[in-house]
Copies of this chain bind each other. A is one copy, B any other.
């Protein structure tokens, strides 16, 4: 079946994927759902593929990029907020005291989001986020965050679209944090980005009609929220879903629980040398970011989901890695 997708003389659509069973599973799945003669044929309008973002399309360690954005934003805004010097969680951010920040927990995070993601119009936020992401670099790789995306996944996105799929992001991250750059980086247009959001309100401000961002959570697109977000935004059950953590369990269940051919995939970060290694599945170090528990590994085996181990399945990780 893989050969059918890749006839002699044809260019390998996934050159950064090693020739392992993971790649074969992808190639044979795409071959059968696009082959009109196949019992598993799926018409183009039903070829929906959903991808988690953090840890699935781009690097999420040592912290979520959006958290790095929020921290940087606090520092930028600090001169206008002298009270932040002795108010948590801002003091912790300004003093680079990650322990105090973590101790402040979810409440602190909500305050950070309110202070950095709300109180401006959607257009203003798009500009702020877009400007930051255009310059901000990963602390280890010293490359733009938007360069710290996985080359094999860029190839997979292209390959799926060339095979008639519509590709969507379904992320726990903020929908408006991603939209300014997903077209340029992943070829995924803003309407095809699903994510968490805060409440927006239509207002006429200084005579201009705007959407004002309010400091109130609207929707959390994680865990059981992912199928709900898919239902809201896409309105079709995907036939392929790719995630990397416990937050993707329900999306993979929902996707592979439909009739006909389905494919569930998970990135497993087991490559400390080229990227990061974390689980705790398979005995890797535990991580609060992108947790991949053993229970998810067991579920993947039971459900026939493809666990893509970075170390063995990907020949190249980042676009800036040597070919």
| A220 adjacent to chain B (CB < 8 Å) | no
**Chain B residues with CB below 8 A from A179, complex form:** 235
A-side interface size class: 35 or more
Please tell me how many copies of the chain the complex holds: 2
Q: Which B residues are in CB contact (< 8 Å) with A201?
A: 224, 228
Residue A82 interfacial (CB < 8 Å): no
A281 an interface residue at 8 Å Cβ cutoff? no
With A211-B228, A224-B202, A253-B204 already in contact, the answer to whether A235 and B191 are too (CB < 8 A) is yes
Choose from B209, B233, B257 the contact partner of A191 (Cβ within 8 Å).
Answer: B233
Are B253 and A227 within 8 A (Cβ)? Answer: no
Q: Is the pair A235, B200 in contact by a Cβ cutoff of 8 Å? A: no
Instruction: Output the residue of A175, A231, A257 with the most chain B CB within 10 A.
Output: A231
Neighbouring B residues of A232 by C-beta, 8 Å: 175, 197, 200, 218
- B209 & A254 in contact (Cβ 8 Å cutoff): yes
Does A24 touch B at the CB level, under 8 Å? Answer: no
Closest Cβ of chain B: how far from A214's Cβ, in Å?
11
A123: chain B residues at CB < 8 Å are 237
State whether the Cβ of A302 lies closer than 8 Å to any Cβ in chain B.
no
A231 touching B200, Cβ below 8 Å: yes
Cα of A310 to Cα of B191 in the assembled complex, Å: 32
Q: List 18 A-B contacts (CB under 8 A).
A: A176-B235, A179-B235, A190-B234, A190-B236, A191-B192, A191-B233, A191-B235, A191-B236, A197-B232, A200-B228, A200-B232, A201-B228, A202-B224, A202-B227, A202-B250, A211-B227, A211-B228, A233-B233
Residues on A lying within 8 angstroms of B by beta carbon are 45, 122-123, 166, 168, 175-176, 179, 183, 189-193, 197, 200-202, 204, 208-211, 218, 224-228, 231-237, 250, 253-254, 257
